[in-house]
Amino acid sequence: MKVTVCIGSSCHIKGSRQVVESLQYLIEQSRLEDKVELGGTFCMGRCQQGVCVTVDGEFHSVTPDTVKEFFEKEVRARA
């Protein structure tokens, strides 16, 4: 499973670093390192909806507050 977080300027100021750090932590805690590939990209062209995250190409809008919920539903449940 490939999870990509936007680290472009717009998402960055909306907290993409916190989202990346949380995901790293949650993936590690859930021992999903072998199954989930976490990556970054500069801009997905949907800056209004940031922080932009894709799971195997499927778009999600995430914030530092909703990252745990997102992880449970879209990553852990499907990995």
Partner 1 sequence: MRKFDTKVQYLKYKVLREVAKEAFADRLPETAIDIPKMIVPGKVPTMRCCVYKERAILSERVKLAMGGNKSNPNVIEVIDIACDECPMGGYEVTNACRGCLAHRCEDVCRFGAISFDSNHVAHIDKSKCRECGACSKVCPYSAIHNYRRPCESACKVKAISMGAEKQACIDNEKCISCGACVYQCPFGAIMDKSYILNVIDMLKGSHGNRNYKIFAVVAPSISSQFTYAKLGQVITGLRELGFHTVVEAALGADMVAAAESRELAEKGFLESSCCPAFVKYIETNFPELVQHISHNLSPMATIARYIKEHEAPCKVVFIGPCTAKKAEIQRESVRPYVDAVLTFEELQALFDSREIDITALSEGVLDNASYFGRIFARSGGLADAVAEGLREQGLDFELKPCACDGIEACKLALLQKSRGKLDANFIEGMACVGGCIGGAGCLTHGEKNKAEVDKYGREAYEKTIQEAISVLKSN
- Output 38 or 79, the one with its CB closest to partner 1: 38
The CB-of-62 to partner 1 minimum distance in angstroms stands at 14
Residue 34: is it exposed, middle or buried by C-beta count within 10 angstroms (0-12/13-18/19+)?
A: exposed
The phi and psi torsions of 59 (rounded to 5 degrees) equal -80, 140
Of 20 and 62, the one with the shorter C-beta distance to partner 1 is: 20
Q: Which is nearer to partner 1, 46 or 78 (CB)?
A: 46
Chain positions contacting partner 1, by CB under 8 A: 5, 7-10, 12-13, 16-17, 20-21, 23-24, 38-43, 45, 47
Residues 6+ apart with CB under 8 A from 67: 18, 19, 22, 23, 26
